[in-house]
Structure 1
Amino acid sequence: MKKQYKRFRLRTVSAMVAMAFVANAWAVDPFTVRDIRVEGLQRVEPGTIFASLPFRIGEQYNDEKGSAAIRALFGLGLFKDVRLEVNGDVLVVIVEERPTVADVEFAGSREFDKDVLKKALREIGLTEGRPYDQSLADRAEQELKRQYINKSLYGAEIVTTVTPIERNRVNLTFTVTEGEPARIKEIRVVGNKAFSESTLRGLFDLDTGGMLSWYTKSDRYSRAKLTADMEALRSYYLSRGYLEFRIDSTQVAISPNKQDITITVNVTEGERYVVSAVRLDGNYLGKEDEFKSLVTIKPGEAYNADKVAETTKAFNDYFGNFGYAFANVEARPEIDRANNRVAFVLVAEPSRRAYVRRVNIAGNNRTRDEVIRREFRQFEASWYDADKIKRSRDRVDRLGYFKEVNIETSDVPGAPDQVDLTITIVEKPTGSLQLGAGFSSAEKLALSFSVKQENAFGTGNYLGVEVNTSKYNRTIAFSSVNPYFTPDGVSRAVDVYYRTSRPYEDQGGNYQIATAGAGLRFGIPFSELDTVFFGGALERTEIKPGTNIPAAYLAYAERFGYKSVSVPLSIGWGRDDRDSAIAPTSGRYQRVAGEVGVAGDTRYVRSNYQLQQYIPLNKQFTLAFNGELGWGKGLGGQAFPVFKHFYSGGLGSVRGFDQGTLGPKDVTGSTIGGPKKITMNAEVITPFPGAGNDRSLRMFGFIDAGNVYGENEKFRLSELRASVGVGLSWISPIGPLRIAAAHPIRKFPGDRIQRMQFQIGTSF
């Protein structure tokens, strides 16, 4: 039989349109495939071709299967040309591979880190090693423009350069001309009557710029920020009685040169309404009195949407405490427009009671399940309890190992009285290796090194090595904390340390107080916020004589020895419900610590109490108070050890006075501290002008008072030093930075004044 030779080819650009014509023009008689050969492959594996063909060796081939094969091979996205050739009963598949992307580079990009742009392109499928085509490059340009528009760089231009290289690869270079960012020139609020335009604009994070706009970028338009500002505006009106307030439109206009943006917000205020009555309706499980106590909507007061939402949430949570996971509470307004009054009917339907069948954990790739489960207060096979679930979520979040913690409730199919809980977490790096340096007006140059792992090997344990050096205080410490030393949540901490210190004096001197020790501490949780600590340590302290050593130190050393060994036992209590440990705006922090030297060469008792209270005055202003009392006394006829003295003055105590210089002085004039201390601080904190509502950069005004007293002196308010001033706090990449300018308003002869002070890492 004479062999026939037919060839047909389908190009990428006209593949789907011409397929029918190709099949008809180059039709072949059906035959049994004896062999399949593939030509033109460079990087693609032959198995990829064979797996995509709709026929195998030994099967019948026809034109329909040939067309399907071409469609399948083009569908892989790996080839820019595909041909099928029939040579007798042998089918030859000839392909031309698309070039692959060898490298992606960016030229002229200053606003973004290159890794950020590469990540954005990777998400649309353009990255090293992937096939390249022009449509993908066009999508990449559009994605890059979108990234720049999000940064208010509306005039950014992008040019793509494709450079072919060996082995059928290409290099892509995106040349960016960023231009100047578009800035908000004007923000207008139209339709307002009750509140001034300047008051309403003050609610926004977006603004027309200030002297710190280079840092906050608040004058750059962002859709997300505008949406948040509109919510702030709506909340402002709804919380002040304007029940029917609405935002009619927001118009964003950009100038022809793409440099200036104008935002216009059109609002309708409506009338201001006063609450006339609040009634309960529906099924309240016979606990109407308990639910009434949760109502924060007060008749006679202006309508406040926040209080309505707070009340309905409190009702839902209270239903949840009894197992009603699907309770529905609706606040129905009855509006009297003639008198501008509104009554609320709180309608409740508890639905059905539910058990928690299973608690699932998702997202913990490194952290062990038990680390999360031991924080849960909602148990499986128990009544659904909203309070315990919230408490569980907060406890997991407070571990500090996760970026996000969310709990979702889902029905159990076929079991209407059961639910499953799924806690989804997003882990964050919990280990750190830090090398750093800091400078303060008191400490001068301080170098630090630390290796810390807060979630060692996913067990929830803490391991740390810390080294710190400064002019006055040097430390090397090793720490280990097991937060669940016992199944009941008793923590155990082991510390080994070596510290050297001396008072803050500018007279120079090379004397030192060196303390080496090791300690063991335990923490017992008594509630969700309260923990009691106790422990003991073995310490060896040496007073090393040198130039300018205070006479009191020499006198103590001559009486009790230059070296002393002590066994201090410690006990303390802490409670912290602040909303943030670094930049708090609400909540309270309390700490009590006591230490008793019970054995060795020293006998003493030392105690300290600290209270911090943060009160939010509004969205921008926070009132903060700090108080601290310290007291110590020698026991058994011994003097209180000089190396356990308290010090005061400067940042962290009474600003405006030189660091650590308040209190008793010896005959040489050196400050020696004392066993009694009192410190009081008050601050009004607000975002820095021009920084919007950015909490990382804030300014504050303050009043400080305090002093240190000797062992035989009484606490006398008449001897308190006091100061007033202003300051700046910045949560910088290397730690909280605070700068204070203070003016002493109560000082005494001999006090050392320092009006400008700064430090990294102090609290008050």
Structure 2
Amino acid sequence: MKFKYFVALAGFFFAISCWASESFVVKDIRVEGIQRTEAGTIFSYLPIKVGDTLDEAKATEAIKALYATGFFKDVRLKSESGVLIVEVDERPAIAQISINGAKEFEKDKLAEGLKQAGIAESRIFSRSLLERAEQELKRQYISRGKYAVKITTTTKPLERNRIGINFDIHEGRTARIKKINFVGNEQFKDSELRGLLVLRKPDLLSWFTKNDQYSKQKLGADLETLRSYYLDRGYLEFNIESTQVSITPDMRDIYITINVTEGAQYKVSDIKVAGELLIPEEEIRKLILFKAGQVFARQKLTESIKLITDRLGDDGYAFANVNASPELDYENRQAAFTFFIDPGRRVYVRRINISGNDRTRDEVIRREFRQMEGAWHSTKNINLSKQRVDRLAFFNSVNVETPAVPNKTDQVDINVKVEERPTGSIMFGAGYSDRQGLILNGSISQNNIFGTGNFFSLDVNTGAINKTYAASFTNPYFTVNGVSLGFDVYKRDVDTRPLTRFGEFKTETVGAGIRVGIPIAENDIVSIGLAAENTKLGIFENSPPRYVDFVREFGTSTNNFPLTISWARDRRDSAIWTTSGTTHRLFGEVSAPGGDLNYYKVSYHQKWFYPITDDLTLMINGEFGYGDGYTGKSLPFFKNFFAGGNNSVRGYDLNSLGPRDTVIPNTSNSALNSRLFAVGASKRVVGNIELMYPVPFMKDDRSLRLSAFLDGGTTFNHFSELNNFMRYSAGIALTWVSPMGPLKVSLAQPLNDVPADNLQRFQFMFGQQF
């Protein structure tokens, strides 16, 4: 490298030495030696113009300027009768690049890496840049475990001082981790420690995870995981002495050795609190998650510091500093901790700044905030505000930062940055089902119409069984206090004759309703609704007896005024990518006086989300429904509960679980045998256990999620029937919050089905039913 610099410097001084003429006035400028470069390009860089007086200083400046372009290997200046002659020797330009033998990477990706290293078509060729590019290619292959890769680079001169570059790549085999050894561990077995690491020997999933390929970054993360494992179990003196990574001469097998010093296990002997205590010491001690006599755990120490810091932040001390100082008793293997608390200055929020909301109005976000401008800083209110904005489901991500105001010690700003997601959809579709025939559907929905946060939808669905025409509107902030107001208009037609699993009947329902939601607490809302609807019933010769009896009692046309009352609590951390929290919903429906029907229905629905790791979330769902008639009347059969399908017990056909009714056909149709029909029931129970995790290689996409599930549920009229009708299934599912609506796909295996059950192992659901 020093030799190259010497050659370049010698060339430069040689060019200077070529200038030995006296100063003169430049009458003209002529360029010689160019093949590709335009003369005008040289004139644009040349700091000398016609009419200038050229002397040695200006000649030196001119040569430096032309060398600095990188276009030329050599530059010389001459004079001839007042004419300045610029002689140049151009560097070759890269005309073409070919890459042969690449299989591990796409050629476009390799070409992009070469470009970043300075090698690309039309650029000036440089031997040093070529060597740098070759090293970049090797780096990319080594990152994939291709340590045996060999790259041969050749250049070919072309006309007009151009050059072609050819990269011949022999990738070789991918090196795999052969063994991971631990030295110095006595308390934990090698197998237990290896189980903590991401890096591992090849297994059945290695082709997918690539965890059998060595990576310096992965090893660094694994070492930190190992350190945390020991510190969380009281080994305060644990240390990783060294790590050795070696590869066999054939570049195929990698051996990793980790040398550790475990030290002794420490217990907590005492806990003290010191510093400026602005909150009672008793309250602070409740936030410390470990007690004297327990084995020390760094995770509990870190979480305790966070809890104390957040508690001080609730009172406005946004920059509180909490440190836990250990005092080690090496002889007795004990550690005493003193929590030093420095609350700092109390600060308040100057402004709330919102960015990223191109469609959504600022007020839609601001009305969800519980931290007010001009008020004392509150960590609790800021976190709650972030959760409420996230639960709107208008944004893919919500990030909140609280930087200090410049030149102010008692003020902070809240910067809210959101990434909007599509909240509306226009969908038209057609499909064919052997049970429903031709199905046409279309919908227009917008959860955030005109950026106001209001919801509007218009749905049309046609089929041989279900026909729906519905319009809905909801204003979630009809009043400034968060009282919502909504309207519904609908027409629903059901004709079960094309189905083989239902008793035959037909209903035509037309209705309209109004809804009011009243917030009674931060996460609780009570909703009251009243609707008026008319239902026309049709029965057939193969209708179950209970359907026939209902028509005899109530007639073929009924008026109903359903009054609904519900309570909902939502404490999820996010509406789209939920990792923790709970939801509760208690719903009641009763027929109001003045109608033809007398019935009531009550249902309770609860979901619980628990984060097992950063990527794994456990969801437990439970549902129970109960309905009956009053004043001597029965529950209408079309108000029964149903179970089975994507929203209850997957693997079984939609609404096919529970009691069945037998229809004995009319003797005039001897070809028709007796059949069993699912008719629903007055009670419903459903339970789901689901382990949710992100799609591999798409962990940052909050719209896609995989899960493994266990479902159970049914409908029944008497508790003695529960064991007979209860059904279970297990499987995997994919949920996608797509721009066109939520899509759920599941593959389930029924666990205790009987021959009479209607199975449907593969199921999908697109959008939401009205």
Shared fold (TM-score, shorter chain, > 0.5): yes
Residue 390 of structure 1 is matched in structure 2 by: 383
Distance (whole Å) between structure 2 residues aligned to residue 33 and residue 308 of structure 1? 79
Contact 1:248 1:266 in 2 (8 A): yes
| 1:195 and 2:195 aligned | no
Among 673, 684, 692, the residue aligned to 1:677: 684
What is the one-letter code of the residue matched to 2:756?
Answer: R
1:644 match:
639
The answer to whether the 8 Å contact 2:501/2:678 transfers is no
Displacement after TM superposition at 1:353 (Å)? 2.0
> In the alignment, is residue 152 of structure 1 matched against residue 145 of structure 2?
yes
Identify the residue that residue 589 of structure 1 maps to in structure 2. Answer: 583
2:587 and 2:473 map into 1 onto residues whose CA distance is 20
- Structure 1 residues 426-435 or 252-261, which shifts more? 426-435
Distance 1:643 1:171 in 2: 78
For 2:77 and 2:424, the matched residues in 1 are separated by 57
Match of 2:341 among 348, 354, 366: 348
Asked if 1:248 corresponds to 2:241, the answer is yes
Q: Deviations over 1:189-216 (max 9, x none)?
A: 3322222222222222333233233333
TM-score by length of 1: 0.76
In 2 relative to 1, CA 168–359 (structure 1 residues): closer, same or farther, beyond 3 Å? farther
2-side partners of 1:21 and 1:348: how far apart?
71
Shift of 1:376: 3.9
Q: How has the CA–CA distance of structure 1 residues 452 and 662 changed in structure 2, closer, same or farther, with 3 Å as cutoff?
A: closer
Q: Using the alignment, how far apart are the partners of 2:531 and 2:118 within structure 1?
A: 59
CA offset at residue 306 of structure 1? 1.1
1:666-745 alignment, distance < 5 Å: 666-668=661-663, 669-681=676-688, 685=691, 699=708, 702=710, 704=712, 706-709=713-716, 713-716=717-720, 719=723, 721-722=725-726, 727-729=731-733, 737-744=745-752
Q: TM-score, normalised by structure 2?
A: 0.76
Letter in 1 for 2:244: Q
Q: Distance in 1 between matches of 2:648 and 2:143?
A: 44
Q: Distance in 2 between matches of 1:33 and 1:699?
A: 83
Which is further off, 296-305 or 402-411?
402-411
In structure 1, the partner of 2:314 is 321
Residues 525-557 of structure 1, C-alpha deviation per residue, up to 9 Å, x if partnerless?
555544455566777767677896655556656
SS of the residue corresponding to residue 410 of structure 2 reads strand
Kept in 2, the 8 Å contact 1:682–1:703? The answer is yes
Alignment of 1:152-171 (within 5 A): 152-157=145-150
Change over 3 Å in CA distance of 1:621–1:424 after alignment to 2? closer
Structure 2 residue identity aligned to 1:313: K
- 1:520 CA drift (Å): 6.9
Give deviations 1:207-245, integer Å, cap 9, x for gaps: 323323333333333333333333322222222222222
Letter of the 1:340 counterpart: R
Alignment of 1:392-431 (within 5 A): 392-399=385-392, 405-424=398-417
Match of 2:370 in 1: 377
Letter in 2 for 1:345: T
CA–CA distance in structure 1, aligned partners of residues 446 and 95 of structure 2 = 38
Q: C-alpha displacement at 1:137, in angstroms? A: 5.0
- The answer to whether the Cα contact below 8 Å between 1:529 and 1:575 also exists between their aligned partners in 2 is yes
**CA-CA distance at 1:154 after TM superposition:** 3.4
Structure 1 Cα separation of the partners of residues 167 and 649 of structure 2: 56
Structure 2 SS opposite 1:383:
coil
Report Cα offsets for 1:8-57 as digits up to 9, x if no partner.
Answer: xxx999655422221222244444567778896979895x7676554566
Computing the radius of gyration over CA atoms, which structure comes out larger, 1 or 2? 2
1:209 aligns with 2:210: no
**625, 629, 634: which one pairs with 1:630?**
625
Could you give the per-residue CA deviations for residues 402-434 of structure 1, whole angstroms, max 9, x where no partner exists? Answer: 565544444444322233444455666777899
**Aligned-pair CA distance for 1:483:** 6.0
Decide whether the 8 Å contact of 1:508 with 1:548 is kept in 2: no
Mapped contact 2:360–2:451 kept (Cα < 8 A): yes
Structure 2 CA distance, aligned partners of 1:450 and 1:208? 51
Contact kept? 1:615, 1:624, Cα under 8 Å: yes
Task: Measure the CA separation in 2 of the matches of 1:307 and 1:71.
Answer: 64
Paired residue for 2:671?
A: none
Paired AA for residue 683 in structure 2: K
Tell me which residue corresponds to 2:668. Answer: none
Q: Give the distance between the partners of 1:421 and 1:461, measured in 2 at CA.
A: 26
- Shift in Å, 1:348: 0.9
Q: In 2, are the aligned partners of 1:479 and 1:495 still within 8 Å (CA)?
A: yes
Structure 2 match to 1:295? 288
Q: Which runs of 5+ in 1 are unaligned?
A: 1-10
Identify the match of residue 660 of structure 1 among 640, 655, 658.
655
Cα distance in 2, alignment partners of residues 480 and 419 from structure 1? 39
> How far did residue 322 of structure 1 move?
2.0
Going from structure 1 to structure 2, the CA distance change for 1:409 and 1:120 (only over 3 Å counts) comes to: farther
Q: How many residues end up aligned between the 2 structures?
A: 739
> For 1:463 and 1:541, how far apart are their aligned partners in 2?
25
Partner of residue 4, structure 1: none
1:310 has 2:303 as partner: yes
Distance 2:360 2:348 in 1: 27
Helix, strand or coil at the partner of 2:222: helix
Separation in 1, partners of 2:488, 2:429: 23
Gaps of 5+ in 2: 664-675
Q: CA 1:412–1:470 in structure 2 vs 1: closer, same or farther (change >3 Å)?
A: same
Matches of 1:144 and 1:182 in 2, distance apart? 17
Comparing 258-267 with 540-549, which one deviates more in the overlay? 540-549
Matches of 2:750 and 2:541 in 1, distance apart? 32
Aligned-partner Cα distance in 2 for 1:62–1:547: 114
Whichever residue aligns with residue 245 of structure 1, its letter is F
Distance 1:160 1:365 in 2: 50
With 291-300 and 593-602 compared, the bigger mean Cα shift is at 593-602
**CA separation in 1, counterparts of 2:454 and 2:299?**
41
Q: Is the 8 A contact 1:505 1:670 kept in 2?
A: no
Partner of residue 574, structure 1:
568
Are 2:529 and 2:565, in contact at CA under 8 Å, matched by a contact in 1? yes
Conservation of the 8 A alpha-carbon contact between 1:574 and 1:590? yes
Deviation at 1:268, TM superposition (A): 1.8
* Partner AA of 1:215 in structure 2: F
SS of aligned partner of 2:322: strand
Matched position secondary structure for 1:228: helix
How many angstroms does 1:283 deviate by? 0.5
Q: For residue 583 of structure 2, what is the amino acid of its counterpart? A: Y
Alignment of 1:471-486 (within 5 A): none
* CA distance in 2 between partners of 1:445 and 1:208 (Å): 54
Q: Is the 8 A contact 1:12 1:80 kept in 2?
A: no
Deviation at 1:496, TM superposition (A): 7.6
Alignment partner, residue 224 of structure 1: 217
* CA distance in 2: counterparts of 1:444 and 1:160, whole angstroms: 64
Percent identity between the two aligned chains: 43
Match of 2:670 in 1: none
Indicate yes or no: 2:256 matched with 1:263. Answer: yes
Report the CA distance shift for 1:537/1:300 in structure 2 as closer, same or farther (over 3 A): same
Q: Distance in 2 between the 1:277 and 1:740 partners?
A: 53
Deviation for aligned residue 1:589: 2.7
Distance (whole Å) between structure 2 residues aligned to residue 636 and residue 283 of structure 1: 68
Q: Aligned letter for 2:17?
A: N
| Cα distance change, pair 269–455 in 1 and its aligned pair in 2 (3 A) | farther
Alpha-carbon distance in 1 for matches of 2:510, 2:164: 61
Cα deviation, 1:483-518, whole Å, max 9, x if unaligned, reads 666665566777787777677965599977677878
